[in-house]
Structure 1
Amino acid sequence: MDAIRNTVLEAWMTEHGYSSNSLADAVNRAVEELTGHLGGLDGSSVRAWKAGRVSWPKSATRTALEAVTGLPAVALGFVPRGRPAPAPASPQLEEPDMKRRTLVGGIAAAAGAAAAPGTASPRRIGMSDVNRLNKRFAEIVASDHRHGGQLGIERQAAALADETLNLQNAGGASQRVRSNLYASAAAFRSSAMWAAIDGRRYDVAKAHMREAQALAEMSGEPTIKFRIWSHAGTLYRHVGRPADSLAANDVALSLHLTRRDPLFACLGHARQAATYGFTGDTVAVQRALGCAQDALERADPALVRPAWMTAASNGAELETLALSAYLRLGEFEQAETHAHRSLALLLPQMQRDRAINTARLAIAQLGQGDLEPAIATAVRIPSDIAAQHARVAHLLQEFGTALNAIAPGSAAVRTWTEHTVTGLRGHRPEPAVTSRIKRPAG
């Protein structure tokens, strides 16, 4: 039988700016994270997937590909061995519905079996179901740490939220289990919200936020309430509504959780500091960062916390938000100090945060007139991340705009322009905001 071309995978690669070689490199790195050994794929391997000559990659490769894309293999057009291949169809027509059907087939199948007519009695939904959902949530968080902002992550998280809610009607459950199901649904929806914020899809993020808030209230779970209100503060900051951002962060900080575990207070105060930086209030920034540092020192490092608090646990998130605040204030020397600290504390898998903070470091160096070090910093950002992540692309465009304003026609500008043409080809950034770095007089 002739191989059937995988047009769904081709469409995904086109949408996300991947060539065969760059996708092979990304999957190889993900294989290394999973197994400790770098994968052995090259461009020809991916071309074999696209041509349909390989319809079901090996297990480790498949898991790594799913981590890179944020989608199950079947949602990328692959067909498990022993299952007949579907007739070719237009990926533009088929892909959204196909993703919805296949993203969480295991959960949907369990719900369907429990609710099927003719069943003697509905299946009892228990904590084992909640634990499986928690494992999927940890996978979403891990994918966010590596890639961030990707539409695939947002869609997967939103689909998992919907499927989690389906379990509420799929069988009997205790009140404890039902509360945990609502908390899981809220967690998935909050990850969809964060991916949309990170991808600068702010209107979509607001819709996710409203649903996440309602689910969190039904769950009564304070940890997820904190996450959602804290993300709301970040969303409002990004859309230029500092008063709403401060109010949302105040809701997060008012939760009893922040008194029980000072690490949550640390994160809440640090996010307030980032918003105060947006308003230009230096005194408020320093006060909020002082409160955050005090809370970090009081936090018990032995407590078990959600995976999404990882960067807060060792102070990396505090340094990241301090960097953001001082960059907004135009205090570039302070910003550079916090940039170096954050980069030293970030764990290796936090590729998205590392790229963002490296771009911010370059802007801080440029703000001090250090053109050559700034460019050397900026070109360290991997081109695939720069091409695929909206916030990184936005920061690099801002960097280029500021560089041109400071040293028009200089060798530094020519070096950066050459890099953007050769190293960042395929990068389509959004329009840059007005630069915070002013061109020196004269």
Structure 2
Amino acid sequence: MPGTRNDLLAAWLHDHKVQVGELTSQVNTEIGELTGRYGTVHDRHIRKLLSGEHKSPNAVLRTALERVTGRTATELGFVPRGGKKAGDPAPGPEDDPLYRRALLAAATAAGVALAAPPAGQRPRRLGSQDVEALRAELVAWTTSESTYGGTPALEKRAADITDRVISLQQENNASARIRSELYTVAAAFSNSAMWAAIDGQRFDSAEYHLDRTIRLAGLSGDPATEFRVWGHASILFRHLNRPADALAAAERAQASSITRSDAMFSSLAMSRLAVTHAQLGDDRNSMRYLDLAQKALDRADPNKHRPTWVTFYDQAELDHLAMVASMRLEQWPAAERHAHRSLAYLRPDLKRNSALVHAHLAVAQLGQRDLDQAIGTARSIPEGMIGHARVRRLLDGFTEQVITLAPRNPGARDWRARYRTAVA
């Protein structure tokens, strides 16, 4: 059935001088990155999107198009699938077919690598293929977490893989090199479980994962792994209101040998130190570390080979952390400036990060008593992300402050009603 031509998608193709066949190839490559299997999109699918015959691509195709073009689905002229009825709960990540497919594909790949030998069969010798299969699972896990945040399902998946890798080492033989690499992978999964718990505000669970991750990272002997563990430990201690421990962990990460060989890691360490000093009320050291972090990021080689997990750190993330530090110091104009910079650099597929920055931005605007602008920013957060633990924690305080400042303001009352419906 013919529809209204999608002028927004057509304009992007025209402006970037991209043909339909080229876009199809790029989309299929991106689907391969997301799911572990090269996409099966045909030129006719893209042409139907252009003609308006199809207005709502599925989650996999939609996300691939967003990542290829750097624009959101709305900016490409697409509309959400289905209709949300009043009172329906906001969709969570588990409702997204892409989320389910990526997790299932990763679980299948890792399951093959981690299969235990049949009863009575002699232990086998583990090799590079086992390590590579696990690394592929870690890439899929990281992709899902970057998009949706640390869901309980992702935490459990990472913890289960950790258990299996530990058992795999006990049941089979391996060279010293392979054993070290497997400990590195196990530490990465355990750390991922810890991060998912932190992101979901499940701090008791995060502390359990931390203890095991520190042991596995020590056995791995890998500097990047140890750096990651102490960086996340610092974040956990900040959430637990243990600033002295947070500072010690952040300094331990900065002291890692990898910060001396790679400016990207040095920048990440110093940006986290800036947030920790801000929590301690030390504005001078906080600003000093932010300046050093920016200089280090500017000289970092963007093409250097690094672990998959560190790809989240870029200019958008540095400004995100600078925004958090500024907010801890109640420097609201600076926080707003860094929030806008972070959003300008942020990749469109990082939905969780976008929601977090918008929530912080709303708080910063409210700190400057710009009520209407703050409410408008909060309203721009998709309902599916409002329920995320860290976003909701920010918006709980934001909503309480809005009503305290302007209890009779119609916009404030409307926001409270909308927020209550979204989190009910």
TM-score by length of 2: 0.77
Give a deviation string over 1:71-113, Cα, whole Å, max 9, x none: 539xxxxxxxxxxxxxxxxxxxxxxxxxxxxx94665565555
Counterpart amino acid of residue 63 in structure 2: E
> Does structure 2 retain, via aligned residues, the 8 Å contact 1:31–1:64?
no
Distance 1:289 1:368 in 2: 23
Task: Flag the 1:197–1:69 CA change in 2: closer, same or farther, 3 A.
Answer: farther
Give runs of ≥4 in structure 1 deviating > 3 Å. Answer: 34-44, 68-73, 103-113
Task: Flag the 1:192–1:139 CA change in 2: closer, same or farther, 3 A.
Answer: same
Aligned to 1:221: 222
1:413-424 to structure 2, matched below 5 A, reads 413-422=412-421, 424=422
Aligned: 1:28 with 2:58: yes
Give a deviation string over 1:268-299, Cα, whole Å, max 9, x none: 11111111121221111111111111211221
Identity %: 40
Aligned to 2:320: 320
Give a deviation string over 1:136-155, Cα, whole Å, max 9, x none: 00111111111112111100
> Does structure 2 retain, via aligned residues, the 8 Å contact 1:356–1:392?
yes
Distance 1:105 1:163 in 2: 14
Q: Could you list the runs of 5+ residues in structure 2 that have no partner in the other structure?
A: 1-55, 67-72, 85-93
Aligned to 2:97: 65
> Does structure 1 retain, via aligned residues, the 8 Å contact 2:109–2:133?
no
Aligned: 1:203 with 2:204: yes
Q: Comparing 270-279 with 336-345, which one deviates more in the overlay?
A: 270-279
The SS at the match of 1:169 is helix
- Pairwise CA distance, 1:171: 2.4
Aligned: 1:212 with 2:242: no
Counterpart amino acid of residue 408 in structure 2: G
Distance 2:234 2:317 in 1: 15
Distance 2:115 2:171 in 1: 7
Distance 2:209 2:308 in 1: 20
> Does structure 1 retain, via aligned residues, the 8 Å contact 2:148–2:351?
yes
Give a deviation string over 1:125-165, Cα, whole Å, max 9, x none: 11111011001001111111111121111001111111122
Tell me how large the CA RMSD over aligned residues is: 2.7
Distance 1:63 1:376 in 2: 27
Counterpart amino acid of residue 188 in structure 2: A
Distance 2:57 2:182 in 1: 32
- Pairwise CA distance, 1:335: 0.2
The SS at the match of 2:58 is helix
Task: Flag the 1:281–1:69 CA change in 2: closer, same or farther, 3 A.
Answer: farther
Distance 1:136 1:112 in 2: 14
Counterpart amino acid of residue 208 in structure 2: A
Counterpart amino acid of residue 289 in structure 1: L
Aligned to 2:376: 376
The SS at the match of 1:381 is coil
Counterpart amino acid of residue 65 in structure 1: P
Distance 2:100 2:115 in 1: 29
Q: Comparing 31-40 with 261-270, which one deviates more in the overlay?
A: 31-40
Task: Flag the 1:398–1:69 CA change in 2: closer, same or farther, 3 A.
Answer: farther
Aligned to 1:391: 390
Aligned to 2:69: none
> Does structure 2 retain, via aligned residues, the 8 Å contact 1:157–1:189?
yes
> Does structure 1 retain, via aligned residues, the 8 Å contact 2:407–2:413?
no
> Does structure 2 retain, via aligned residues, the 8 Å contact 1:111–1:166?
no
- Pairwise CA distance, 1:172: 2.1
> Does structure 2 retain, via aligned residues, the 8 Å contact 1:333–1:368?
yes
> Does structure 2 retain, via aligned residues, the 8 Å contact 1:124–1:171?
yes
Distance 2:116 2:137 in 1: 20
Aligned to 1:406: 405
Counterpart amino acid of residue 329 in structure 1: L
Distance 2:287 2:268 in 1: 15
Counterpart amino acid of residue 415 in structure 1: D
Distance 1:63 1:238 in 2: 29
> Does structure 2 retain, via aligned residues, the 8 Å contact 1:28–1:40?
no
Distance 1:327 1:230 in 2: 20
Aligned to 2:26: none
TM-score by length of 1: 0.74
Give a deviation string over 1:294-322, Cα, whole Å, max 9, x none: 2112211120222222232x311111111
The SS at the match of 1:134 is helix
- Pairwise CA distance, 1:258: 0.1
1:183-202 to structure 2, matched below 5 A, reads 183-202=184-203
- Pairwise CA distance, 1:255: 0.7
Q: Comparing 264-273 with 292-301, which one deviates more in the overlay?
A: 292-301
Task: Flag the 1:339–1:43 CA change in 2: closer, same or farther, 3 A.
Answer: closer
Distance 2:158 2:181 in 1: 17
Aligned: 1:178 with 2:179: yes
Aligned to 1:6: none
> Does structure 1 retain, via aligned residues, the 8 Å contact 2:114–2:168?
yes
Counterpart amino acid of residue 187 in structure 1: A
- Pairwise CA distance, 1:328: 1.1
Aligned to 2:300: 299
Task: Flag the 1:155–1:356 CA change in 2: closer, same or farther, 3 A.
Answer: same
> Does structure 1 retain, via aligned residues, the 8 Å contact 2:217–2:225?
yes
Counterpart amino acid of residue 58 in structure 2: N
Aligned to 2:360: 360
Distance 1:227 1:393 in 2: 26
> Does structure 1 retain, via aligned residues, the 8 Å contact 2:259–2:266?
yes
1:267-306 to structure 2, matched below 5 A, reads 267-306=268-307
> Does structure 1 retain, via aligned residues, the 8 Å contact 2:268–2:318?
yes
Distance 2:96 2:352 in 1: 17
Give a deviation string over 1:367-412, Cα, whole Å, max 9, x none: 111111111110010001112x100011111110111222222123
Counterpart amino acid of residue 200 in structure 2: G
Task: Flag the 1:297–1:411 CA change in 2: closer, same or farther, 3 A.
Answer: same
Q: Could you list the runs of 5+ residues in structure 1 that have no partner in the other structure?
A: 1-25, 45-61, 74-102, 429-442
Aligned to 2:266: 265
> Does structure 2 retain, via aligned residues, the 8 Å contact 1:323–1:339?
yes
Distance 1:202 1:236 in 2: 10
Distance 1:232 1:130 in 2: 25
> Does structure 2 retain, via aligned residues, the 8 Å contact 1:267–1:318?
yes
